[in-house]
Amino acid sequence: MKLVVANESHFKYAHIISDTIGESAKVRGTGIAKRTPEYIQKKLQNGNAVIALDGETFAGFCYIEVWGHEKFVANSGLIVHPDYRGQGLAKKIKQRIFDLSRTKFPDAKIFGITTGLAVMKINYELGYKPVTFSELTDDPEFWKGCQTCKNFDILTRTEQKMCLCTGMLHDPNAQPAVKKDNVNSKAFTRLKSIKEQLLLKKKTK
Ligand SMILES: CC(C)(COP(=O)(O)OP(=O)(O)OC[C@H]1O[C@@H](n2cnc3c(N)ncnc32)[C@H](O)[C@@H]1OP(=O)(O)O)[C@@H](O)C(=O)NCCC(=O)NCCS
């Protein structure tokens, strides 16, 4: 398995990346924005994406997006092909894209939003902290990316204050945590369930 910074030679993988994201969104039923092959191609060409390949076979992907005049970067679109899940690949991809983000944008705060426990765990290990949406970028273009998520109406209804996703932030200027705890999976799952009960219930009224 090799993890490389993507370039134009990887355009041929844009369709499978887009399809794998789309299929995963259907299976999971919540909280993954769609990305077209054209959109993925743009991400592949500017040196801000990491692709994992098993020989010539696509295994995983993630990209950096820059917001608020480089004050913030997001590590978005993380996807591991179902054939390669459960082997620590997402962790390796996230570490690689995190390192790339720190090298290319050393002063930027790195953030992500997620409903997934796996991503929450990985981010936590990388030193991210859970934060309210008000601490993330207010760049409207970032939030427009949520329009293709099936929960977008919740974000609109709450005036962008909350949604089913949890915001997580790595601030390069913050004091490092003294002790690196693991994410509390039980608490996270419980919180997610409470949010779903509150926010999804209102949706059906
Ligand atoms: C989420 C995803 C990227 C995980 O990829 P993966 O390569 O299987 O993840 P890893 O093997 O690196 O696992 C990382 C950690 O998450 C845990 N994990 C993996 N999948 C999990 C799941 N479905 N539920 C809970 N925990 C999970 C692992 O046990 C591991 O934790 P540990 O360090 O405590 O052992 C992959 O399942 C995927 O592509 N899903 C669909 C797309 C998606 O949800 N993207 C994220 C959008 S925010």
Q: Which residues pair with 181 in a beta bridge?
A: none
- What's the CA-to-centroid distance between 86 and ligand 1, angstroms? 7
The reported pLDDT for the residue numbered 205 is: 47
Structure letter (DSSP) for residue 182: P
Indicate whether 32 pLDDT > 80. Answer: no
- What's the CA-to-centroid distance between 111 and ligand 1, angstroms? 18
The reported pLDDT for the residue numbered 188 is: 82
Most confident of the ranges 27-31, 33-37, 129-133, 142-146: 129-133
The CA distances from residue 104 to 45, 66, 70, 89, in Å, are 15, 11, 10, 22
Compute the distance between CA of residue 40 and CA of residue 24 in angstroms, rounded to an integer: 16
| Start-end of H helices in the chain | 14-28, 37-45, 89-104, 117-125, 140-144, 152-157, 185-195, 201-204
Structure letter (DSSP) for residue 160: T
- What's the CA-to-centroid distance between 11 and ligand 1, angstroms? 25
What confidence tens digit (pLDDT) does each residue in 40-70 have? 999 999 899 999 999 999 999 999 999 988 9
The reported pLDDT for the residue numbered 189 is: 85
Lowest mean pLDDT, pick from 3-17, 94-108, 160-174: 160-174
- What's the CA-to-centroid distance between 42 and ligand 1, angstroms? 25
Task: Name which residue sits closest to atom 28 of ligand 1, judged by CA.
Answer: 118
Contact 41, 72 (CB under 8 A): no
Which atom in ligand 1 lies closest to the alpha carbon of residue 118? 16
Average pLDDT over residues 85-111: 97
Q: Which residues fall within 8 angstroms of residue 36, CB to CB, at 6 or more apart? A: 18
Compute the distance between CA of residue 74 and CA of residue 176 in angstroms, rounded to an integer: 20
- What's the CA-to-centroid distance between 69 and ligand 1, angstroms? 31
Average pLDDT over residues 88-115: 96
Which atom in ligand 1 lies closest to the alpha carbon of residue 114? 48
- The per-residue pLDDT of the chain, averaged, comes to 90
Which residue type is seen at 136? L
Which atom in ligand 1 lies closest to the alpha carbon of residue 182? 34
**pLDDT interval class at 192 (50, 70, 90):** confident
Q: What residue ranges line ligand 1, CB within 6 angstroms? A: 24, 28, 32, 78-80, 85-91, 114, 116-119, 121-122
Contact 160, 133 (CB under 8 A): yes
With pLDDT > 90 as the criterion, what percentage of the chain qualifies? Answer: 69
